[in-house]
Amino acid sequence: MLTFPGRFTVLAFTVPALLTAALPARGAPTKLVEESPRQITNVAPGVWLVDFGREAWGNLRLAAASTSTNRVVVHFGEALRDGRIDRHPPGSVRYAKTEVLLDGTNPVIAAPAADKRNTTPPAVLTPPEWGVVLPFRWVEIEGWPGKLVAEQVRRRAAFASTWDDDAAEFRSSDEMLNRIWELCRYSIKATTFAGVYVDGDRERIAYEGDAYLDQLGHYASDSDPQMARDTFDRLMKYSTWPTEWVPHMIFIAHADWMQTGDAKWLTARYDGLKSKLLLERAGPDGLITSSAAQIKRGDLVDWPEGERDGYVFTGVNTVVNAFHLRALAMMVDLARAAGKTKDAEEFARREQATRAVFQEELFDPARKLYRDGEGTDHISLHANLFPLAFGLVPVEDRAHVASWLGERGMACSVYAAQYLMEALFENDSDSTALGLMAAPTDRSWRHFVESGATITWEAWDQRYKPNLDWTHAWGAAPANLLPRFVLGAQPLSPGWSRVLIRPHTGMLAFCTGKIPTPRGPVTVNWKRGPDFTLTYGLPPGTACHLEVPATAGSRGVFLGDRMLRAHREGGWWIVEEEFAVAGTVEVR
């Protein structure tokens, strides 16, 4: 038990410096922040229920109002049942109990006993000076002397030290989408507690696929790249088992390059990235092959296993090969950035040749859809959503594949939903994507909101994963999807030197918000009616390329009274000029 006589001070540490020698020597800084209760309720004689409003990793500071030295019992919980903390929650939902001896008005720290599974290596450790932390929203306190008031109880919650709650904003005409965004934004913030991205609380281990989704959400919510970089460096030393997690390391590095434009950081890691292409598994035709052992444990497709839409695993797996091709395309960019011209040419040649084989061997021209792999006629959601998200589907077939995916719906996990949403948004199926995101089913982010979640879950619902973790940021995809596609701002060149603003409006009437970048915030405010109006703001040193929705009967894009040079492509006006200052354009 830790006691701090006198005034309590918030502590901040650089996490990995306090970890075991087996872990990276440097990491993103984190800190403990004192938080007041949202509500305190007397639920039984001598028992107080304290609600902090939403979950966070932390523990408690208690300070009595008198010289009391009572021993009090503290229950920490993520779930309620019949108005009390659930002592036997399902799956990996957290409950813990501890006792603490009060020391008069001197603050004492109440923390549960350590859980060996997530507080010893290979779990990412938190500073021992903090005491044990766990995710909780509620506490019950038994034996408190007199009435418990807010000044006497504080949660010491752990977050990234650099986090700025005001860095990002999102508001639309759909209140449910606004609630979904805030849930997902906060999920990214809350899961920064360890200094690197971890898979919730059950293991507290970094996984490549989880880390990439966390990275995208972090960039859209707060622009500091350090935690993503430290997670990358850790994973280069301590990789995990899924096949598709290997090329995710290239995805992480490419996202860093686009976010920061930092060629020095990239070049120092370039040679290690080449080992993440799965080339040791390439057959004579370039396609990646899977042995029986790799099929049994390695090839993932989706997780948990019940979310695979009946996927048939074969020696040539469509999803695995889609990831390989996407990684090759990204490596072309990274090789050029690192000054490796010959590598870039070889990766481009290999990608082009293997893509042709991929199309010939795995695409069913009669159904205009991809089979799960060589040797099967089964067609799953996953065999099509990943090729579409990665730009592998021929242009003439993309609308058909997008339509088919929309009809199939959310037949995938919260992880694969990131890529399903990308595939739909990027192929002008934004109404479908937003409809799935907020659908009144148990397979949507609306379900999280209506279930009272304050951090996104590991799976859509307990019935889909019995050991469900309630604190899993890989379920927070709308934190990046809504800013990137609905607000519509993405980096067009590394380091956000050029910005693409292309709002996917769906059926929304308006949307406004702010996206953090290393150069400063990009702001977007659009309104859809008979005409379409877009106002944008740019940080210094940034140029903007605009692609705006074409309203019915519109004849062009106007800046004030001036018609801009623009041409029509499908449902979009593509503006041929770029802008370096804020402005307002209208489609008329």
Structure confidence by residue, pLDDT tens digits, 146-199: 999 999 999 999 999 999 999 999 999 999 999 999 999 999 999 999 999 999
Residues 468-498: tens digit of each pLDDT: 999 999 999 999 999 999 999 999 999 999 9
Question: Is the CB of residue 197 less than 8 Å from the CB of residue 191?
Answer: yes
Per-residue model confidence (pLDDT) at position 434: 98
Cα 424 to Cα 409: distance, rounded to the nearest angstrom: 11
Query: 490-535: per-residue pLDDT in tens?
Result: 999 999 999 999 999 999 999 999 999 999 999 999 999 999 999 9
Domain ranges in the chain are 12-160, 491-587
pLDDT over 90 (residue 22): no
Q: What pLDDT shows up at residue 68?
A: 79
For 359-365, what is the mean pLDDT?
98
pLDDT for 492 equals 98
- pLDDT for 27 equals 58
State yes or no: pLDDT of 19 exceeds 70.
no
Whether residue 246 contacts residue 278, with contact meaning beta carbons closer than 8 Å, is answered with yes
Give the per-residue pLDDT at 65. Answer: 83
Q: Say if residue 1's pLDDT is above 80.
A: no
* pLDDT(14) > 50: no
Strands 498-501 and 543-549: parallel
Whether the predicted pLDDT of 246 surpasses 60: yes
Does domain 491-587 correspond to CATH entry 3.20.20.10?
no
Given a cut of 60, is residue 3 above it in pLDDT? Answer: no
- What number is the average pLDDT over the span 358-387? 98
Over range 575-581, report the average pLDDT: 97
Determine the average pLDDT of the residues in 274-282. Answer: 97
pLDDT of 293-351, one tens digit each?
999 999 999 999 999 999 999 999 999 999 999 999 999 999 999 999 999 999 999 99
Alpha-carbon distances of 36 from 51, 52, 68, 119, 285, rounded to whole Å: 9, 7, 22, 26, 61
- 563 beta partners: 558
Question: In angstroms, rounded to a whole number, what is the distance separating the alpha carbons of residues 217 and 189?
Answer: 9
Decide which of 69 and 45 is more confident: 45
The tokens of 382 are what?
């996953």
Could you write out the DSSP letters of every residue in 373-415?
BTT-----SHHHHHHHHTT-S-GGGHHHHHHHHHHH-S-S-HH
CA distances from 262 to 334, 344, 521 (A): 11, 18, 19
How would you label 67-97 residue by residue, b for 16+ Cβ within 10 Å and e otherwise?
A: ebeeebbbbbbbbeeeeebbeebebbbbbbe
Q: Indicate the SS3 state at residue 550.
A: coil
Residue 5 has pLDDT above 60, yes or no: no
Question: What mean pLDDT is predicted for residues 131-138?
Answer: 98
- Its CATH architecture, for the domain 12-160, is Sandwich (2.60)
pLDDT tens digits along 564-575: 999 999 999 999
Which pLDDT value is given to residue 37? 98
Model pLDDT, residue 430: 98
For 138, 180, 183, 250, 478, the CA distances from 170, given in Å and listed in that order, are 28, 10, 12, 29, 11
Check residue 66 and give its pLDDT.
Answer: 82
> Token digits for 54?
């939403």
Residues of the chain above pLDDT 70, percent: 95
Closest to 437 (Cα-Cα) out of 75, 179, 237? 179
Beta bridge partners of 171: 512
Mean local confidence (pLDDT), 50-65: 96
Cβ neighbors of 383 (< 8 A, separation 6 or more) are 311, 318, 319, 362, 369, 370, 371, 372, 373
* For the chain, percent of residues with pLDDT exceeding 90: 94
Q: Is the pLDDT score of 17 beyond 60?
A: no
CA of residue 454 relative to chain centroid, distance: 15
- CB-neighbour burial class of residue 212 (10 A; exposed 0-12, middle 13-18, buried 19+): buried
For residue 26, give every residue at least 6 positions away whose Cβ sits within 8 Å of its Cβ, in sequence order, or none: 14, 16, 17, 230
- Residue 411 near residue 420, CB atoms below 8 Å: no
Q: How many residues does the chain have?
A: 588
539 has pLDDT over 90: yes
Report the SS3 class of residue 14.
strand
Q: How far is CA 30 from CA 15, 160, 260, 423, 577, in A?
A: 7, 4, 21, 35, 43
